[in-house]
Amino acid sequence: MDSQIAENFRRLLSEAKGRNIAVAGHMRPDGDCVSSALSMFEILQAAGANVKCLNKNEVPHLYKNLAQFEFESTETFDPKGWDILLVDCSDLSRVSPALKEKLGDVYACIDHHESGTSNAKIMCIDKSAGATAEIIALCATEVGAKISRRAANLLFMGIATDTRQFTTSSTRQESFEAARRLVRLGADPNAVAQELYQRERAQKMALLSVYLGTLKRLCQGRVCVGFLRRADFEKTGAQKEDTDGLVDFARSIDGVEIAALLEELEDGSVKGSLRGRTPEYSVNKIAEYFGGGGHLAAAGFTAKNQTFDTILPKFEELCRKSLDRDL
């Protein structure tokens, strides 16, 4: 990792004393986002800051036991007098459009996404990191910040989830180095795994079964897309957060190179989650076309005023271009 990133992290901590810092992650937080936000809460508090942790949504079920914490809502937050630290995203529109309206500049940003540009005053951005939690773990240990056992477990969880248990194309030596340091600080990989992989909600499994039933192959079978309608959530009792990870099942099918989950939202938009078998397909570019973004092999979007039928022809065309390395 670039030594400048740790230097910037050191500056963030050295300026923290007496400062009001609101740590904000992207809406519909995943494991990396939860772990980044809550570990930075602890680290900044220890450095003397007055800290809040914001999100548009709640801490998802799977991470609740490890987090032992709840977010304050971005929607009711009054930003006056607060500096914003963005984690696991670089753009306020991914945090909350309502909050973006109320805010001017972002104070600091810690992120690893390919898409999005930040003009934060302090930036700890490493696009080749496996997780934002990986950047935090490496920087915090580098500059000698104290990491509690709870934060170590959370950061380990963030790296494990974003790298799909150290298997994504973004997994690198530093991912293991960060994990090694966290285990040394008391993180327990088995305890984290029991929380993450042996505590699924039955309603999520019911939603998975619906999703698998809708899978459709495009582009000579190389693309696999599945659909979730609003009624599917009512029928199964599943929540929005239960869609997390479903798209990986579509990608796991032999011969599938790009997988997608398209989801109908209440406000008449379509949310897409995309996965590529390799980074070469740059699925972030497909997502960017529909107003989203992400990583080369994992990306997403929310397209307003769309239906599955209006999205699909363009989606298929973009997938074909991507498979031809022509995007």
Contact positions toward Mn ion, by CB under 5 A?
32, 88, 132, 162
Give bridge partners of residue 145 from the DSSP assignment.
none
Query: Between the CA of residue 173 and those of 114, 232, 281, what are the distances in Å?
Result: 19, 41, 23
Rounded CA separation 305/300 (Å): 16
Quote the least distance from Cβ 32 to Mn ion, whole Å. Answer: 3
Rounded CA separation 235/215 (Å): 18
Q: What DSSP assignment string belongs to 108-166?
A: EEEE--SS-----SEEEE-TT-S-HHHHHHHHHHHTT----HHHHHHHHHHHHHHTTTT
Residue nearest to Mn ion (CB): 32
- Residue 85 vs 311, nearer CB to Mn ion: 85
Quote the least distance from Cβ 164 to Mn ion, whole Å. Answer: 12
> Is beta strand 50-55 parallel, antiparallel or unpaired with respect to 72-73?
parallel
Quote the least distance from Cβ 238 to Mn ion, whole Å. Answer: 23
Rounded CA separation 254/34 (Å): 32
- Residue 88 vs 91, nearer CB to Mn ion: 88
- Residue 126 vs 162, nearer CB to Mn ion: 162
Quote the least distance from Cβ 36 to Mn ion, whole Å. Answer: 7
Give the SS3 label for residue 256.
coil
Quote the least distance from Cβ 208 to Mn ion, whole Å. Answer: 22
Adjacency order of strands within the sheet including 72-73: 72-73, 50-55, 20-25, 83-87, 108-111, 122-125
Quote the least distance from Cβ 176 to Mn ion, whole Å. Answer: 17
- Residue 162 vs 244, nearer CB to Mn ion: 162
> Is beta strand 270-276 parallel, antiparallel or unpaired with respect to 258-264?
antiparallel
- Residue 112 vs 181, nearer CB to Mn ion: 112
